């Protein structure tokens, strides 16, 4: 029933998301163990270290360095920070996400470099978890403690992207701009006029197994980068569980993200997702990066709910209940357009048919979608402001995302959706190891 | 050295007694039963337990591994419960033996012991291992915290020796009393001890977290000094402590009375039976009629045969025993006594895994007579101290450097009888606790030496006394004092403008200009968070908290006048507001000399003024039409500089780097704001700034606030540190 290409963003983590109930045993802790021993520690006893009777007294330093334990709370998952690519791209979507666009205030290239080093340091700590640094008596605490005294990793990923505006005159980096990075154009069906949620110098996609972990990470990063970064806009998203199986449903009730490239196939990811040094006119430093498209797509759900099921299904080209293409029975079935040249089964202007015609010519246009649902209040009419935080990764934003988006112009669905913000960013190559930092290649 | 030796002495005595009592009774029983040959089994159990304890300590020491917190408690608790089972069984077995006191006890003991050599080994092993593990860990850590091993070792040796002597004395004593009494007395004593061990074991399991309710105390006799010799003796013999949980007490009561009742009833009925038996047998023992010679000869022959058979049987038995003893070579026994526990210790640690604790925990006690005792294991790195105030007064506790007085960590207001954690990240060096009680008592602990390098720890800072802050406060007040008349004069000019019969365009422009001058005078005073008590609300309040909003008749002051001037209100409406403003400022001038400035307010003000600026000015919330938020921000920045300049000496002495950084960011923000002032001196309104300009001001002010946020912590008044 399930397709291996389906991003399994939902139920696999549901079980993990429960805090490890037994993990707290140890915090019943040294302190308790000591109480009876403190018995021996009357006035006469002086400085006896009753404390150390407990094993806690032994090998303190070792315990400190090795086991700043991050699994006591949260999901217990730690997603590796270092690697050729950033985490949060191929990573199956965690339950909670925020997309935050910043403008960079750094006054020169050295400041920009310092920003990336600081970002790296914070992201490394936050994604690995541990005990926040103790600043002593002469400072407010270093950590907000919204996740408790010890920061859990909790499946956190922080994915850093840069916008085209970072390569303007400010830092002398124009020559190093990723070849396909542009300002996101306005597409014909967009509703971007007067939008305050467009573009940005820097984009952080912060995802974790819990909402509070996402917010904690953002607060930590903002505090540590105050002199270089100013928040510009922010959009929060959530993953819905599989209902009942397979890909998550968007707020129109249809399964979304069914036909993604296979993230486990190096061939596919190298051909469709990762940018390569020297290829496609790209500069050398982009090896292992990816173009990120973020779009805030409002869904007019009140209107949609007044549309007949047949019309809804014809707009998507899929069954609403199973997610199967109208030509199939299960969601993983491949739509057979060759047998249906006139769109008698799946209309020619159905969303899935326009987005992915499944031809040899369009095969290289596929994108990795990693979207989140959003819900952020109401509009002036009292209608719900809900929709999809569309996010996708691709090797060449012109060849892939824009080609798809261009085919979708004026699709029937446009009456029920309203893209209101977003931007194009270039997700940086991964931080290779402990001595590397974000965008190090940009400064090499 | 006495200081270090005495605690170890008490430990040795207590744990030695706990383990020794059971063993001595076991040994006495065997001796009374004529089974000295079996003593080896008991000593094997004792030896194995000692080996296990030492192995644990050795493995932990040399590998620096870590038993998880609670692991040792669970281990000890389980052993205690097993010990209770064994001892109880033994007591009732002895009672059963005591029932037939007519002489065959020896045989019965032999028979029972023949079956139960393993039981003897196990009982003695458990009795000793239970305490031995704890003792060796105690001694190891005591030696480590004392920084020398001689004192603690001698103390412990004396304590254990005294415990052995006491057990020996008990052993001699019970040997002398008659058998019936021996079994009654030792049995009763063992039941009382076992009840204590049961409570103790339950307590261990609760501490280990296996059973809840550890802190649900049935009683907690804090008036009893738990470290006193008598408390130690009671704990050592009866396992009763000044604080016991409900579970411990209930376990104790459920075990002791019923077991004792069954035991005593059994002893009585056994004694009665024995008496009746003796009475019945007595006449029969005497031959009623003379025997014939043949009968006597036959009887003698039978007796000889029986004796011979007995001798043969005894020989065979002895041979079997020797063979049994020989089956296992002596060296193998010796080796396994020491090797098996060592392997067991390693395995236990491996299985239980390394302990996980974010920081070593140390229980530190303080009272008006003794500050900061109990730091057992001074080590570098992140430390958590559990500070308990055993005194009668609330205390402030500091971790300081005894040589420089620098403060590394602090707890304010530790109430009597409470425990709170104090965390600090320490590098190598000398440290001491300093306790200041509300009754004026101030004292320090001894100096603790932490090994290791001088980097990686938190920086200590010289405490600021209230005297230190007197001059800065006086300087700041002098500044305000000096500028209030300027504010008054400028406000009077504004009031005069508003008193004009009609606000012509020229008059309105003049009023607006004079309004700004006077308002900036006020904003530059560094007022924030009630500096001028109620006057601030009257002079510079916003309408947001008023029931009627901007139409609320109680709204007065600069912003009210601003609203009127920029919303076309008539002079008649504004005149009383101008007069009111002047009157309020005059009242402020009158009241200010008697208003006190809390010394701690001054460092706080360094960031609070600009927090207000970010929150109310740079958002436009405080703008009632004039569009002068950036001018206000600039005046606020100036007010912050005034406050800082009063504190510059204190900052320079403690963290010159932070001061430098603050100065840099003040210059940056000043430059941002100045860029918004036009050549003619007028200010760009917030909404006329470009997004980039506005983000830059917000970002730079944000960073300045991050830098300023250390000032209140650094310069907090710590007079008693």
- B409 close to B422: Cβ distance less than 8 angstroms: yes
Q: Is the pLDDT of residue A286 over 60?
A: yes
pLDDT at B149: 64
pLDDT digits (tens, 9 = 90+) for A417-438: 999 999 999 999 999 999 999 9
Q: Give the residue, B71 or B498, on which the prediction is more confident.
A: B498
What is the C-alpha separation between B244 and B206, in angstroms, rounded?
11
- A24 and chain B in contact, CB less than 8 A: no
**Least confident among A211-220, B260-269, B482-491:** B260-269
Smallest Cβ–Cβ distance between A64 and the set B67, B359, B424 belongs to: B359
Both structure tokens of B485: 């008349």
Average pLDDT score over residue span B174-190: 72
Give B157→chain A minimum CA distance, Å: 17
> Hey, which residues does A389 pair with through a beta bridge?
A296, A372
**CB-based contact A226 B706, cutoff 8 Å:** yes
pLDDT at A39: 30
What is the C-alpha separation between B75 and B349, in angstroms, rounded?
11
- B381 and chain A in contact, CB less than 8 A: yes
Task: Work out the pLDDT band at B675, boundaries 50, 70, 90.
Answer: very high
- B65 and chain A in contact, CB less than 8 A: yes
- B515 close to B558: Cβ distance less than 8 angstroms: yes
What is the sign, positive or negative, of the torsion defined by CA atoms of B109, B114, B117, B119?
negative
Task: Work out the pLDDT band at B112, boundaries 50, 70, 90.
Answer: low
Give A152→chain B minimum CA distance, Å: 13
CB atoms within 10 A of CB B91: 23
- A106 and chain B in contact, CB less than 8 A: no
Q: Give the residue, B542 or B211, on which the prediction is more confident.
A: B542
pLDDT at A145: 93
B682 to each of A47, A353, A375, B517, B669, how far by Cα in Å? 69, 61, 44, 12, 18
Strand A202-208 and strand A96-104: the pairing is antiparallel
Task: Work out the pLDDT band at A248, boundaries 50, 70, 90.
Answer: very high
pLDDT at B227: 60
> Hey, which residues does A237 pair with through a beta bridge?
A97
Average pLDDT score over residue span B214-221: 76
- B416 and chain A in contact, CB less than 8 A: no
What is the C-alpha separation between B578 and B591, in angstroms, rounded?
20
**CB-based contact A227 B703, cutoff 8 Å:** yes
Smallest Cβ–Cβ distance between B69 and the set A47, A56, A67 belongs to: A56
Average pLDDT score over residue span A12-16: 36
CB atoms within 10 A of CB B413: 12
pLDDT digits (tens, 9 = 90+) for B588-618: 999 988 888 888 889 999 999 999 999 999 9
For residue A239, the 8-state DSSP code is P
pLDDT digits (tens, 9 = 90+) for B381-393: 888 899 999 988 8
CA B359 to chain CA centroid, nearest Å: 11
At B198, is the secondary structure helix, strand, or coil? helix
Q: Is the pLDDT of residue B243 over 60?
A: yes
In B147-177, alpha helices (H): 150-176
pLDDT digits (tens, 9 = 90+) for A311-335: 999 999 999 999 999 999 999 999 9
**Least confident among B119-123, B127-131, B163-167, B333-337:** B333-337
Q: Is the pLDDT of residue B199 over 60?
A: yes
Q: Is the ipTM of this complex over 0.85?
A: no
CB atoms within 10 A of CB B270: 20
- A77 close to A16: Cβ distance less than 8 angstroms: yes
**CB-based contact B10 A45, cutoff 8 Å:** yes
Give B136→chain A minimum CA distance, Å: 9
Mutation site for A-interface testing, chosen from B212, B238, B360, B409 by largest number of A Cβ within 10 Å: B360
Q: What percent of chain B has pLDDT over 70?
A: 77
What is the C-alpha separation between A341 and A327, in angstroms, rounded?
13
Average pLDDT score over residue span A367-371: 96
Helices (H) and strands (E) in chain B, counts: 21, 11
Of B56-60, B162-166, B320-324, where does the model show the most confidence?
B162-166
Q: Give the residue, B437 or B122, on which the prediction is more confident.
A: B437
Nearest to B362 by CA among A141, A63, A52: A52
**CB-based contact A39 B226, cutoff 8 Å:** yes
Q: Is the pLDDT of residue A16 over 70?
A: no
Both structure tokens of B644: 């800082």
Task: Work out the pLDDT band at B143, boundaries 50, 70, 90.
Answer: low
What is the C-alpha separation between A102 and A105, in angstroms, rounded?
9
Both structure tokens of A186: 């306005």
Q: What percent of chain B has pLDDT over 90?
A: 33
Average pLDDT score over residue span A222-227: 96
Residues in chain B with CB shorter than 8 Å from the CB of A64 are 358-359, 381-382
> If you average pLDDT over every residue of chain A, what do you get?
85
Average pLDDT score over residue span B395-422: 91
């Amino acid at each position: 029933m399930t397709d291996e290409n389906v991003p399994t963003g939902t139920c696999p983590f549901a079980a993990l998301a429960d805090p490890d109930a037994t993990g707290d045993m140890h915090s019943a802790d040294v302190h308790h163990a000591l109480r009876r021993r403190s018995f021996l520690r009357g006035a006469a006893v002086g400085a006896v270290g009753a404390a150390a009777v407990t094993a806690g007294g032994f090998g303190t330093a070792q315990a400190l360095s090795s086991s700043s334990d991050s699994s006591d709370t949260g999901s217990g998952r730690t997603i590796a920070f270092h690697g050729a690519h950033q985490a949060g791209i191929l990573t199956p979507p965690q339950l909670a996400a925020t997309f935050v666009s910043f403008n960079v205030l750094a006054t020169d290239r050295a400041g920009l470099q310092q920003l990336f080093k600081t970002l790296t340091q914070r992201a490394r700590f936050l994604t690995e978890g541990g005990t926040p640094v103790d600043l002593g008596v002469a400072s407010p605490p270093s950590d907000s403690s919204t996740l408790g005294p010890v920061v859990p990793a909790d499946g956190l990923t922080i994915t850093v992207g840069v916008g085209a505006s970072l390569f303007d005159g400010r830092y002398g980096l124009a020559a190093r701009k990723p070849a396909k990075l542009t300002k996101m154009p306005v597409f014909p069906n967009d509703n971007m006029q007067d939008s305050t949620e467009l573009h940005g110098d820097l984009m952080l996609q912060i995802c974790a197994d819990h909402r509070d972990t996402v917010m904690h990470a953002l607060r930590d990063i903002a505090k540590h980068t105050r002199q270089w970064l100013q928040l510009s806009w922010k959009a929060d998203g959530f993953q819905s569980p599989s209902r009942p199986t397979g890909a998550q449903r968007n707020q129109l009730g249809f399964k979304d993200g069914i036909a993604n490239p296979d993230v486990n196939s190096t061939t596919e990811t190298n051909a469709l997702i990762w940018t390569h040094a020297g290829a496609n006119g790209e500069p050398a430093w982009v090896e292992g990066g990816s173009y990120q498209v973020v779009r805030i797509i409002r869904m007019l759900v009140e209107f949609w709910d007044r549309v007949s099921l047949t019309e809804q299904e014809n707009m998507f080209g899929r069954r609403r209940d199973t997610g199967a293409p109208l030509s199939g029975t299960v969601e993983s079935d491949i739509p057979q357009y060759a047998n249906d040249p006139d769109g008698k089964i799946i209309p020619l202007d159905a969303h899935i048919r326009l987005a992915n015609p499944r031809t040899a010519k369009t095969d290289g246009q596929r994108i990795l979608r990693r979207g989140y649902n959003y819900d952020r209040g109401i509009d002036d009419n009292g209608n719900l402001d809900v929709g999809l935080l569309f996010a996708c990764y691709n090797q060449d934003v012109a060849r892939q995302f824009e080609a798809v988006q261009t085919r979708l112009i004026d699709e029937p669905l446009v009456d029920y959706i309203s893209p209101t913000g977003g931007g194009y960013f270039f997700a940086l190559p991964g931080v290779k190891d402990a001595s590397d930092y974000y965008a190090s290649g940009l400064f090499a | 050295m006495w200081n270090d030796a005495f605690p170890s002495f008490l430990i040795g005595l207590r744990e030695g007694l706990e383990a020794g009592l059971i063993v001595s009774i076991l040994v006495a029983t065997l001796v009374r039963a004529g089974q000295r040959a079996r003593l080896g089994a008991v000593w094997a159990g004792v030896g194995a337990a000692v080996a296990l304890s030492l192995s644990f300590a050795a493995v932990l020491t040399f590998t620096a591994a870590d038993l998880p917190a609670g692991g040792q408690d669970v281990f000890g608790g389980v052993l205690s419960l097993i010990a209770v089972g064994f001892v109880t069984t033994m007591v009732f077995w002895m009672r059963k033996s005591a029932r037939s006191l007519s002489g065959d006890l020896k045989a019965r003991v032999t028979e029972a012991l023949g079956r139960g050599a393993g039981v003897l080994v196990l009982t003695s092993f458990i009795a000793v291992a239970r305490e031995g593990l704890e003792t060796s860990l105690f001694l190891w850590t005591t030696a480590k915290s004392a920084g020398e091993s001689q004192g603690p070792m001698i103390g412990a040796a004396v304590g254990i020796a005294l415990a052995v002597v006491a057990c020996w004395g008990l052993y001699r004593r019970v040997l002398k009393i008659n058998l019936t009494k021996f079994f009654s007395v030792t049995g009763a004593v063992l039941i009382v001890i076992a009840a204590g061990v049961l409570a103790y074991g339950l307590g261990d399991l609760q501490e280990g977290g296996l059973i809840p309710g550890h802190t649900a105390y049935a009683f907690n006799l804090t008036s009893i000094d738990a470290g006193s010799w008598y408390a130690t003796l009671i704990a050592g013999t009866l396992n009763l402590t000044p604080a016991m949980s409900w579970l411990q007490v209930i376990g104790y009561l459920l075990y002791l009375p019923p077991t004792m009742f069954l035991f005593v009833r059994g002893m009585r009925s056994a004694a009665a039976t024995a008496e009746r038996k003796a009475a019945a047998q007595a006449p029969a023992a005497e031959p009623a009629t003379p025997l014939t010679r043949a009968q006597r000869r036959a009887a003698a022959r039978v007796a000889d045969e029986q004796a011979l058979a007995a001798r043969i049987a005894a020989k065979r038995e002895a041979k079997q025993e020797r063979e049994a003893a020989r089956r296992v070579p002596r060296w193998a026994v010796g080796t396994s006594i020491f090797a098996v526990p060592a392997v067991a210790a390693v395995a236990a640690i491996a299985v239980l895994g390394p302990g996980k604790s974010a920081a070593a925990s140390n229980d530190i006690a303080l009272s008006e007579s003794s500050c900061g005792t109990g730091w057992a294991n001074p080590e570098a790195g992140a430390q958590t101290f559990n500070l308990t105030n055993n005194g009668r007064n609330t205390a402030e506790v500091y971790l300081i450097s005894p040589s420089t007085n620098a403060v590394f960590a602090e707890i304010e207001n530790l109430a009597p009888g409470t425990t709170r954690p104090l965390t600090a990240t320490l590098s190598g060096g000398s440290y001491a606790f300093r306790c200041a009680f509300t009754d004026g008592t101030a004292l320090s602990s001894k100096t603790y030496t932490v090994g290791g390098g001088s980097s990686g720890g938190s920086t200590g800072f010289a405490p600021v006394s209230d005297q230190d802050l007197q001059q800065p406060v006086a300087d700041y007040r002098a500044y305000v004092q000096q500028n209030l008349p300027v504010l008054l004069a400028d406000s009077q000019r504004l009031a005069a403008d508003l008193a004009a019969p009609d606000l012509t365009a020229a008059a309105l422009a003049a009023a607006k200009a004079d309004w700004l001058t006077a308002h900036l005078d006020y904003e530059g005073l560094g007022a924030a968070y009630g500096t001028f008590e109620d006057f601030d609300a009257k002079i510079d309040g916003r309408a947001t908290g008023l029931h009627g909003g901007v139409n609320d008749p109680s709204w007065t002051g600069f912003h009210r006048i601003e609203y009127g001037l920029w919303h076309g209100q008539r002079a008649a409406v504004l005149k009383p507001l101008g007069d009111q403003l002047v009157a309020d400022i005059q009242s402020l001038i009158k009241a200010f000399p008697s208003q006190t400035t809390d010394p701690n307010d001054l460092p706080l003000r360094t960031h609070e003024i600009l927090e207000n600026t970010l929150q109310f000015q740079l958002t436009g919330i405080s703008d009632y039409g004039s569009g002068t938020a950036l001018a206000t921000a600039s005046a606020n920045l100036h007010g912050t500089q005034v406050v800082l300049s009063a504190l510059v000496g204190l900052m320079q002495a403690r963290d010159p780097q932070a001061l430098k950084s603050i100065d840099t960011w003040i210059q940056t923000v000043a430059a941002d704001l100045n860029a918004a002032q036009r050549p003619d001196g007028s200010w760009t309104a917030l909404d006329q700034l470009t997004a980039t300009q506005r983000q830059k001001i917000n970002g730079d002010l944000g960073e300045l606030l991050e830098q300023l946020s250390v000032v209140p912590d650094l310069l907090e008044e710590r007079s008693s540190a």
